[in-house]
Amino acid sequence: MFTVSKRVWASFLLVLAVGITLTMVISVSGQKVSRVTKDLVEVQIPRLAQTERLASAISEHERLLYEYYASKDRARLWPQIQQAEKAYLQSFIILDQASGELSLQLSALFDQLKALRNSLDVNLRGQNTHWDLARTHLEDLTKTGKQAQTIFAQIHNEIAAQSEKVSGESSRRLAAMTQMVTIFSVAVIIASALVGYFTQINIRQAAERKTLAQFPERNPSAVISLNWRGQIIYHNPACALLIEKIFGSPQRIDTLIPPHFLNKLKTWQAEHKTHVEFHYKIDQHTLNFDLSLLPDLESCHLYIEDISHRQQAFDQLEFQAYHDQLTKLPNRRSFQEAVDKLVAKNAPFSLLLISLDRFELVQSSQGYEMGDLIIDGMAKRLLEVTDETNQCATLYRMEGTRFCILIESELQSDGERVAKLLQQKMDQALEVEEHRYYFTTSMGICHYPTDADTSNQIIANVNMALNQAKSIGDHYQTYDSKFHAMKQSWLPIESGLRNALQDNQFTLFYQGKVDANSQEVTGAEALIRWFDKENKPISPGVFIPVAEQTGLIIKIGEWVIDESFRQAAQFRRENIDINVAINISARQFQHRHFITKLQDALIRQGISPERIELEITEGLIMQNVEHSVVTMKKIKDLGFRLAIDDFGTGYSSLSYLKKFPIDTLKIDRAFIMNLENDDKDKSIVRSILDLAKHLDLQTVAEGVETDWQWRYLRDMGCDSIQGFYFSKPDTADKLSQVGKGHRLQRMG
């Protein structure tokens, strides 16, 4: 019998003999393959490439001639045409050396191409180009090109056939060489495997026996071996250490095995399980059990690991994922899952979404730390409310100062009842670190399934109800479908406004201002109007609020300024002495580029600023008095006139009014409409007129619609009248027909 050493040498000699034989055979075959491949690489493949380059050059030549026909740009295109012609002639010279009869046909076609090219060039260079003849030349060029392409295809096919033949022969010889190399490689692999096998088999077996013997003893995890009936037949030292860690004293090994383990073991055996993993908790320790069932050996191995720290970390992470860090209340993720489950079960419930009013003002003065304490105190108060409801009510913190109470009840009125209870609670001060704060809340209420069909829908609807309540303050609002309709109506208006800016759907109407005594036109207020693609008017009361909210009012305002300035310049060129008044929106007035835009419009339209009066509402000025005064002074420095619109509704004090660099007060229509029958309105109007007179300001009364109103205002010393009694808003052309020095026909 051969020893391991003899088997290794026999394998080595066998591989050496096979290697020498194969080397000689491969050398002879390689020389033959080299000759065949040289012909393929040096002759056939270059001819194929030359054919493709020639076809490409013909196509480029034809494209350039078509471009020359289209543009007649001979200076740019003729050198490119000559270059393309040179390219295909050079390629043809190389190809002609081995193309036979087909090359003669190509030579004739190239002569035709050259003649057609020259004829086309002469025609296009002439002063009177004969376009029909040029198109005929182009058609002939295309036909000739197609004939050339046909010949290229024939040449290509001939060369390809020859190449395929050469390639096939090379492939056969290479395949034979590959088979020989493969045989040699297999022989080497077999010999190496035999050597490795006989050399390592004894070492591996010895190492495996030693490792298996040491594994259980040195394993840091507790290991218990059981027979098929579940009786313990072995346990390693780590089991005793684990028992000492859990109980503090030595115990029997079976104290580590969970109750009912034997019953479950029988079940797993009946189900033919081979691996089972489960957890079991002893006191404060969580143990992970990994059971391997070996039916062929009729034994089981139980691996036990203490994962208490890992489980605690997991529990902490899970708590953080579903709870707010500040208040420890369930968070928005937990809220979303709870709502989803209730909707999936079609269980009725109400949502009470709560927002703390004026919190930002307190936090900005007291700091974030105090703000967190207030939110935590608010959470405790809300928990008191949920405890007193005597219902299944769960409190969640959504974000910031927003909380939500989920009330599992069929009655829609339960949401309102909880809201009223919270309002009563909020009448009491919120005490935080010896500070007493009085807050109000805004609340939105929505009920499922009455107000929504899906979880996302009810969450959106309760937010909508809350926003409606916040607009009032210290109020709760139940959801109404009209809120959704109101919000949705903004979307098409916003989209329409953007299209209107692009498609010039806006226009300006002008309402004349007349002298209260002479009834002559003194000015006009520019009023924007929107007519959609179907020429239907859209009320400014509908689209202006949307423009304000979306910020589109900035671009719309810039258009109004530019168009008003243009019209004022037009009035001036026509010798019509009418000043134009422009309403300035709040966002436009506060925009950082407002003054620059005014200057640019003045330069662009070439109008004097004295011809323009900018109208600013009293409420706008009072939002930020100091900033407003600075901006107004810059406007005055440019030379514009300034008017306060809707005067009497913005609650400005006289101490502020004297600071404003204004020229005109416009009395709001709210004081004019009931002037005949309301003595309080008369007193207010009289006071405004007296105030303006003492401050040396011009006055304009808005909304004058009756003869009595006009005469009363005239007699009280009002300077100008604006309203339907004299003029409705109309186009600039109709206002131009009146002009200054003429009276507007009274409508009353």
pLDDT digits (tens, 9 = 90+) for 123-134: 777 777 788 787
Kindly calculate the radius of gyration of the chain based on its CA atoms and give it in whole angstroms.
Answer: 48
CA–CA dist 320, 567 (Å, integer): 64
Q: Amino acid identity of 177?
A: M
Task: Kindly provide the b/e burial profile for residues 593-606, where b requires at least 16 CB atoms within 10 angstroms of the residue's own CB.
Answer: ebeebbeebbeebe
Task: Give percent of the chain with pLDDT exceeding 90.
Answer: 35
Bond prior to 449 in cis (omega within 30° of 0): yes
Name the region of 346 (left: φ>0; alpha: ψ -120 to 50; beta: rest): left
Asked if residue 373 lies in contact with residue 433, where contact means CB atoms within 8 angstroms, the answer is: yes
What is the average pLDDT across 173-178?
A: 72
Q: Which two tokens stand for residue 340?
A: 């989803």
CB atoms inside a 10 Å sphere around CB 169: 16
Q: What are φ and ψ of residue 162, in 5° steps?
A: -65, -40
**Helical H segments across 411-539, by residue range:** 413-426, 455-470, 481-503
Predicted pLDDT at 341: 95
**Helical H segments across 259-324, by residue range:** 261-270, 308-322
Contacts of 388 (CB under 8 A, 6+ apart): 421
pLDDT category at 166 given cuts 50, 70, 90 is low
- pLDDT digits over 199-225, tens only? 666 556 545 544 544 556 667 778 888
CA nearest 578: which of 602, 607, 600?
Answer: 607
What is the average pLDDT across 233-259?
A: 85
CA–CA dist 380, 382 (Å, integer): 5
CB atoms inside a 10 Å sphere around CB 185: 11
How long is the chain? Answer: 748
- pLDDT digits over 579-594, tens only? 999 999 988 998 889 9
Asked if residue 449 lies in contact with residue 346, where contact means CB atoms within 8 angstroms, the answer is: yes
Asked if residue 377 lies in contact with residue 430, where contact means CB atoms within 8 angstroms, the answer is: yes
Residue 566 above 80 pLDDT?
A: yes
- pLDDT digits over 363-389, tens only? 877 888 998 999 999 999 999 999 888
- pLDDT digits over 605-664, tens only? 999 999 999 999 877 787 778 888 999 999 999 999 999 988 866 555 566 677 889 999
Asked if residue 720 lies in contact with residue 699, where contact means CB atoms within 8 angstroms, the answer is: yes
Predicted pLDDT at 209: 47
**Total-model pTM:** 0.51
CA–CA dist 106, 154 (Å, integer): 11
What is the average pLDDT across 106-123?
A: 74
Beta bridge partners of residue 509, listed in sequence order: 527
CA–CA dist 280, 191 (Å, integer): 54
Name the region of 223 (left: φ>0; alpha: ψ -120 to 50; beta: rest): beta
Predicted pLDDT at 212: 46
